[in-house]
Amino acid sequence: MRLFRKAFTLPSKNQLPTRDFFLFSISVVFITCLVAVSLWVVIYTSHLRGIQRDLSIKALNIDKTFSEILDDTNRLLVYIGKQVARHNKSNDLKFIANLLASVSEAEFKAKSAMTFIEWINDKSYQVVNSQTGVIPDPPNMSFREHVQRAPTHPWRLQVSKPGIGIPSGLWVIPAGTGVVDEKNKFLGVVAVGFSVVGLTSKLIRIAAIDKASFVILDRNFNIILQSDGHGFNPKSSFYKDLFGNKDPFTEEEFTFERAIHHQDVEYYAYRKMQNYPYTVMVGYNKELVTKDFYALVLPRVLEIAGMAIFCVFLLYLFRKRMVLFSNSSIKAKDDFLRKFGDEFQSLLFNISSQAEVLYSA
């Protein structure tokens, strides 16, 4: 109570507020800072968990969208392959050229961002494509991974790592479906090339990931697809060097305890595609996350600071009234104790007098 009275003693005109008042104000500021820091930590943790949940949903959307595009492509290629196998026309290049030309590419290109449809014979030569028809001097496509795997995995879409398309000359993701006849004899491969630029833009639009960054890796950590302006060279060995021989993608989907950083992107979540050997990693631009966090926490911190300043200001303005109230309380207590002491003393005196009278009798 004495410190309280000192803290709020009204200064004279030429006298600054008392030292105790400043100590009291500093204690208020300290408590305010402690509350603000605690609030900062709680909001940051909640914000980070919200980001991880949001990125997990975006990774799932990418998985679904990319899988649907690949599945639709495989259905088209299987249809073409079935026609070739059923009519036993694997060596009839004119029939295959007409078949490829009859496919409505316009609608499918708009959906899957593919470039051309090709027929690669059983000796790995691209003999027909939907743009030029029969190719006089067919190129050897045996270096493509999907061509190598197609004979042992027929009727299933095989995807190669990105490369320069033949004959498109664009940066594409080559893919193809192996074709066999009723006796399981390998006939060839119906192949396509997905435009990397077109496919990336479609994933961003359809999967609603315009504010996020993503990268799709194969089982060897090669980059299959990446966000526009991502800053990676498609031939980069960044992830091979980062992960080495350890596979960090042990779960079907997971959120990293520590984000994977590359330039200004922080990756918080990944998802392994169920039907294809790829992993989707999703993250946010670090600057964007920081701005969103500040926009969320700063108003709360300013509110707390404003309330603390307002309380100190009110205490400073009403300190005289509070001191008077304190003085009156102390005076009332002293009066009560004095009266009580007088009454108690009188009572003791009476008791002592009566005791002496009784003792004398």
Handedness of CA 352, 353, 358, 361 (dihedral sign): positive
Taking the C-alpha atoms of residue 187 and residue 321, their distance in angstroms, rounded to an integer, is 100
Q: What are the structure tokens assigned to 52, written together?
A: 């991880």
Asked whether the predicted pLDDT for residue 241 surpasses 90, the reply is no
**How many residues does the structure list for the chain?**
361
| Terminal-residue alpha carbon distance, the chain | 52
Residue 70: give its domain's CATH number. Answer: 3.30.450.20
Evaluate whether residue 319 is within a structural domain: no
Q: Provide the total of helices (H) and of strands (E) in the chain, helices listed first.
A: 9, 12
φ and ψ at residue 349, rounded to 5 degrees: -65, -45
Q: Does a structural domain hold residue 299?
A: no
For residue 185, being part of any structural domain is answered with yes
* pLDDT the model gives residue 257: 64
Distance CA 230, CA 80 (A): 36
Q: Which of 108-112, 158-162, 284-288 has the lowest mean pLDDT?
A: 108-112
3-class DSSP state for residue 215? strand
pLDDT tens, position by position, 24-68? 677 777 787 787 778 777 877 777 777 778 888 888 888 888 888
Residue 94 structure tokens: 């004119």
- 146 has a pLDDT exceeding 80: yes
pLDDT at 356 over 90: no
Tell whether 349 is covered by a domain.
Answer: no
Domain containing 160 equals 46-290
Predicted confidence at residue 203, as pLDDT, reads: 80
The two three-digit tokens of residue 137, written as one number: 């001097």
Which residue do the tokens 């609603």 mark?
A: 208
Residues 255-281, mean pLDDT to the nearest whole number: 79
Q: What is the pLDDT of residue 194?
A: 87
What are phi and psi for residue 335, nearest 5 degrees?
Answer: -60, -40
Q: Is residue 111 part of a domain?
A: yes
Share of the chain above pLDDT 90, in %: 12
**288 vs 266: CA distance, rounded Å:** 10
**pLDDT score, position 230:** 52
Q: Is the pLDDT of residue 343 over 80?
A: no
More confident: 230 or 34: 34
Sheet with 253-262, edge to edge strand ranges: 223-226, 212-218, 278-285, 265-272, 253-262
Residue 176: which pLDDT band, with cuts at 50, 70 and 90?
A: very high
Least confident segment among 121-125, 178-182, 245-249, 295-299: 245-249
**Of 45 and 75, the one with more pLDDT:** 75
Query: How many structural domains compose the chain?
Result: 1
Of the pLDDT bands very low, low, confident and very high (cuts 50, 70, 90), residue 2 is: very low
Which amino acid, 271?
A: R
283 beta partners: 213, 267
For the chain, the average pLDDT equals 77
Predicted confidence band at 295 (pLDDT cuts at 50, 70, 90)?
confident
Using DSSP's 3-state secondary structure scheme, residue 345 falls into helix
3-7, 205-209, 336-340, range with greatest mean pLDDT: 336-340
Is residue 99 included in any domain, yes or no? yes
Looking at the domain assignment, is residue 237 inside a domain?
A: yes
User: What is the pLDDT at residue 36?
Assistant: 75
Check residue 98 and give its pLDDT: 87
- Decide if pLDDT at 256 tops 60: yes
190 lies in a domain? yes
Q: Report whether 253 contacts 268 (CB < 8 A).
A: no
Examine the pLDDT at 16 and tell me if it is beyond 80.
no
Q: 């009266």: which residue's tokens?
A: 339
What pLDDT does 6 receive?
A: 47
